[in-house]
Amino acid sequence: MKKIHQAFLIAGATTFTLAACGNDTSTLADVGDDYSPENPVDVKVGITGSDSPEWDHVAKLAEEEGIDVEIVRFSDYVQPNQALADGSIDINAFQTVSFFDNFREEHDLDLAAIGSTVLAPMGLYSDKYDNVDDIPDGAEITIDREITNQARNLMLLAEAGLLELEDDFGVTSGLDQIKDNPKELTLIEIAPANAPRLMQDVDASVINNGFAVDAGLSPAEDAIFREDETATPYINIIAAQTKDQDNPVLQRLVELYQSEDVENVILEEHKGARIPTAISLDELNSYPR
């Protein structure tokens, strides 16, 4: 079986070199739907973090059909969309639909969501307290400084009973939409990747699911409070350039990701930290802005 190549990128990097495949392969633009194990096509998939058993499994299934998946790993939430926009990768799978919509609008990127993947419940973690009710007045809590993730962080804190938000609070609302902060919490805005490291210096941290897992935290066991359910804006997606959104190779990768085989891998490997979610694009894009 051909090796699945992986490239590692760090924040600030603008170029990268990928290992060449041993077989001659075609590009998306060349192959259309005329691909097979004898006439394979290369697809570069951008993800964040190091924990990707589902994509490793998708790659194995895809290889059997003639799609050679190359997994490109990023360490932040900015470069995967920039790399997609400039054609360095063919699809990415790391972000919620609300983050994606806000990012592509803010940066004027011609990208499109082509399928849903998982719900990844966000959690509140603490090295000092075992229960959210124990968080004291004046506590310091880190939250994400990126707008859509910050809105989600604040909604989690409100769900935990630590804040009260304005009635019209939405997916791009921020600190100015906090109606009441009864414990006079100090909310510290940070880059999400730094949350696990900074958790020891504050009373609690809201940590994105992926970064929590990479830091050895279990969202199901270690979070002192976790989202009960994740609404449509926080479903994760697969994204592509708009011109490639109907490409049969990419659509096949979406089908493989949403297959029962991959669903079982997600459930077994992540043990509730990620929940397989396959919904239509119409439903995915129906959340209130």
SS3 of 128-191:
CCCCHHHCCCCCEEEEECCHHHHHHHHHHHHHCCCCEECCCCCCCCCHHHEEECCCCCEEEEEC
Neighbours of 247 (CB within 10 A): 22
Instruction: Write down the pLDDT at residue 2.
Output: 37
| Nearest-angstrom CA–CA distance, 99 and 209 | 14
| Nearest-angstrom CA–CA distance, 172 and 160 | 20
User: Does the 123-226 domain belong in CATH 3.40.50.720?
Assistant: no
Fold of the 6-120+232-284 domain: D-Maltodextrin-Binding Protein; domain 2 (3.40.190)
Report pLDDT digits (tens) over 62-93. Answer: 999 999 999 999 989 999 999 999 999 999 99
Instruction: Write down the pLDDT at residue 7.
Output: 44
Cα 227 versus chain centre, distance: 16
Instruction: Write down the pLDDT at residue 1.
Output: 39
Neighbours of 162 (CB within 10 A): 22
Average pLDDT, integer, range 48-56: 87
**Segments making up each domain of the chain, as ranges:** 6-120+232-284, 123-226
| 42 pLDDT more than 80 | yes
| Nearest-angstrom CA–CA distance, 278 and 205 | 30
At 217 the three-state DSSP class reads coil
Binned at pLDDT 50, 70 and 90, residue 15 comes out as very low
**Alpha carbon separation from 157 to 12, 21, 126, 135, 268 (Å, rounded):** 31, 47, 13, 12, 29
Tell me, yes or no, if the two domains 6-120+232-284 and 123-226 fold the same way. yes
Instruction: Write down the pLDDT at residue 231.
Output: 67
| Choice between 20 and 242, residue whose per-residue pLDDT is larger | 242
| Choice between 282 and 30, residue whose per-residue pLDDT is larger | 282
Helix/strand/coil percent split, the chain, to 5: 35, 25, 40
| 60 pLDDT more than 70 | yes
Contact 60, 85 (CB under 8 A): no
Long-range contacts, stretch 178-184, CB < 8 angstroms, 24+ apart: 178/154, 183/135, 183/136, 183/137, 183/138, 183/139, 184/137, 184/138
Binned at pLDDT 50, 70 and 90, residue 44 comes out as very high
Instruction: Write down the pLDDT at residue 6.
Output: 44
| Choice between 126 and 234, residue whose per-residue pLDDT is larger | 126
Report pLDDT digits (tens) over 137-190. Answer: 999 999 999 888 899 999 999 999 999 999 999 888 999 999 999 999 999 999
| Choice between 8 and 288, residue whose per-residue pLDDT is larger | 288
Report pLDDT digits (tens) over 191-230. Answer: 999 999 999 999 999 998 888 988 989 888 899 998 865 5
Question: Which residue in this structure is represented by tokens 């990023």?
Answer: 74
| 23 pLDDT more than 90 | no
Instruction: Write down the pLDDT at residue 25.
Output: 66
Instruction: Write down the pLDDT at residue 203.
Output: 98
Contact 65, 252 (CB under 8 A): yes
| Nearest-angstrom CA–CA distance, 194 and 142 | 10
Nearest to 56 by CA among 121, 21, 5, 94: 5
Of 57-66, 123-132, 249-258, 280-289, which range is least confident? 280-289
Mean pLDDT of the chain: 88
